[in-house]
């Protein structure tokens, strides 16, 4: 089972690594990794605890920063909509957008998560997609439309967001968690012509393809975290035997922030 992980080197035949080094890579869901070192890199454990290096300062942080600022090209004063806003990537998108002077509306499941998106991460408002009409609420909260939609969920919420984009909007396709488990849902968006009539742009990205921006992103994320402008929340579970239940938390929404399994 593929998984991004961090760990400690026990032994290596490669001179770049020695026992005791802390490393990150696609090590999979297992307690010991043996294999090629392609994509394996050293990490500095003094930057934070392991869950932080996998969370705010790791892949979710990089995804939020690069997706919002490089793909989304956010500028101050714009209106940003973020789905899965209490999740690992979404909560960092919300905070960076606020730091950059945007008005930010989150979308999350349930009143507790929505409250957290506003109180802990600083969104101006949050739509509860489990109990509210998302399209109507976007219209009410963003009467002049959305400049950047950071999409983590796809499906009907993407369509609802597209219906409210402004001229020259940017729709950042980061993920589509609402349709991953059901190919029948992988249709549309039916109203994609909004992209045409609004002279908008819809662009997907895979974080692995943006390695040239990692250093800039990590430096800024760490700087904002040090000055308390950015808070990270990780959700740590333990025990490799619990992996099947833990991974399903992502789909039930039971996780609060970056979901990390300690094995």
Ligand X SMILES: NC(=O)c1ccc[n+]([C@@H]2O[C@H](COP(=O)([O-])OP(=O)(O)OC[C@H]3O[C@@H](n4cnc5c(N)ncnc54)[C@H](OP(=O)(O)O)[C@@H]3O)[C@@H](O)[C@H]2O)c1
Residue from 71, 79, 255, 261 that binds ligand X (CB under 6 A)? 255
Total residues at interface with ligand X (CB under 6 A): 28
Residue from 17, 33, 205, 214 that binds ligand X (CB under 6 A)? 205
Residues 41-100 interacting with ligand X (rule: CB under 6 A): 59-60, 63, 84, 86-90
Piece in contact with ligand X (CB under 6 A), picked from 5-13, 21-29, 106-114, 160-168:
106-114
Residue from 43, 80, 104, 207 that binds ligand X (CB under 6 A)? 207
Piece in contact with ligand X (CB under 6 A), picked from 5-13, 26-34, 74-82, 169-177:
169-177
Asked if 185 touches ligand X (CB under 6 A), the answer is no
Residues 110-139 interacting with ligand X (rule: CB under 6 A): 113, 129
Sheet strands (E) in the chain: 5-8, 22-25, 41-42, 79-82, 103-108, 125-128, 146-151, 165-173, 201-204, 234-238, 258-262
Nearer Cβ to ligand X (222/247): 247
Asked if 109 touches ligand X (CB under 6 A), the answer is yes
- Please say whether the beta carbons of 64 and 93 come within 8 A: yes
Piece in contact with ligand X (CB under 6 A), picked from 21-29, 39-47, 176-184, 189-197:
176-184
- Please say whether the beta carbons of 84 and 108 come within 8 A: yes
Asked if 153 touches ligand X (CB under 6 A), the answer is yes
Nearer Cβ to ligand X (9/173): 173
CB of 135 vs ligand X, minimal distance in Å: 14
**Burial (0-12, 13-18, 19+ Cβ within 10 Å), 60:** buried
How many angstroms separate the CA atoms of 203 and 147, rounded?
14
The number of angstroms, rounded, from the C-alpha of 54 to the middle of its chain's C-alpha atoms is 12
For residues 181, 203, 80, 105, the Cα torsion angle rounded to the nearest 10 degrees is -10
Nearer Cβ to ligand X (173/263): 173
Asked if 192 touches ligand X (CB under 6 A), the answer is no
Asked if 24 touches ligand X (CB under 6 A), the answer is no
How many angstroms separate the CA atoms of 186 and 47, rounded?
39
Asked if 206 touches ligand X (CB under 6 A), the answer is yes
How far lies 158's CA from each of 35, 82, 107, 162, 244, in Å? 39, 10, 11, 6, 28
How many angstroms separate the CA atoms of 149 and 151, rounded?
6
Alpha helices in 120-190 (DSSP H): 134-141, 155-162
Cβ-based neighbour number of residue 109 at 10 Å? 18
CB of 10 vs ligand X, minimal distance in Å: 28
Residue number, nearest CB to ligand X: 87
Asked if 246 touches ligand X (CB under 6 A), the answer is no
- Please say whether the beta carbons of 234 and 59 come within 8 A: no
Site of interaction with ligand X (CB under 6 A): 59-60, 63, 84, 86-90, 108-109, 113, 129, 152-153, 174-178, 205-207, 250-251, 253, 255, 259
């Amino acid at each position: 089972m593929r998984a991004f992980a961090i760990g400690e080197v026990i032994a290596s035949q490669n001179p770049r690594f020695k026992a005791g080094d802390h490393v990150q890579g696609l090590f999979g869901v297992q307690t010991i990794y043996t294999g090629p070192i392609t994509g394996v890199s050293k990490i500095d454990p003094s930057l934070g605890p392991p869950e932080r290096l996998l969370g705010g300062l790791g892949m979710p942080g990089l995804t939020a920063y690069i997706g919002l600022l490089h793909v989304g090209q956010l500028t101050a004063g714009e209106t940003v909509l973020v789905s899965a806003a209490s999740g690992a990537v979404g909560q960092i998108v919300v905070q960076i957008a606020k730091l950059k002077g945007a008005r930010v509306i989150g979308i999350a499941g349930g009143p507790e998560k929505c409250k957290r998106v506003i109180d802990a991460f600083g969104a101006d408002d949050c739509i509860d997609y489990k109990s509210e009409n998302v399209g109507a609420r976007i219209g009410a909260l963003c009467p002049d439309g959305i400049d950047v939609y950071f999409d983590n969920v796809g499906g009907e919420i993407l369509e609802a967001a597209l219906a409210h984009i402004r001229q020259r909007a940017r729709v950042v396709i980061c993920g589509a968690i609402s349709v991953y488990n059901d190919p029948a849902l992988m249709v549309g968006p039916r109203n994609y012509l909004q992209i045409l009539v609004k002279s908008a742009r819809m662009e997907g990205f895979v974080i692995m393809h943006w390695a040239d921006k990692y250093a800039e992103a990590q430096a800024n994320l760490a700087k904002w975290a040090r000055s308390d402008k950015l808070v990270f929340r990780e959700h740590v579970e333990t025990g490799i035997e619990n992996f099947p239940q833990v991974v399903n938390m992502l789909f039930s929404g039971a996780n609060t922030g970056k979901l990390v399994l300690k094995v």
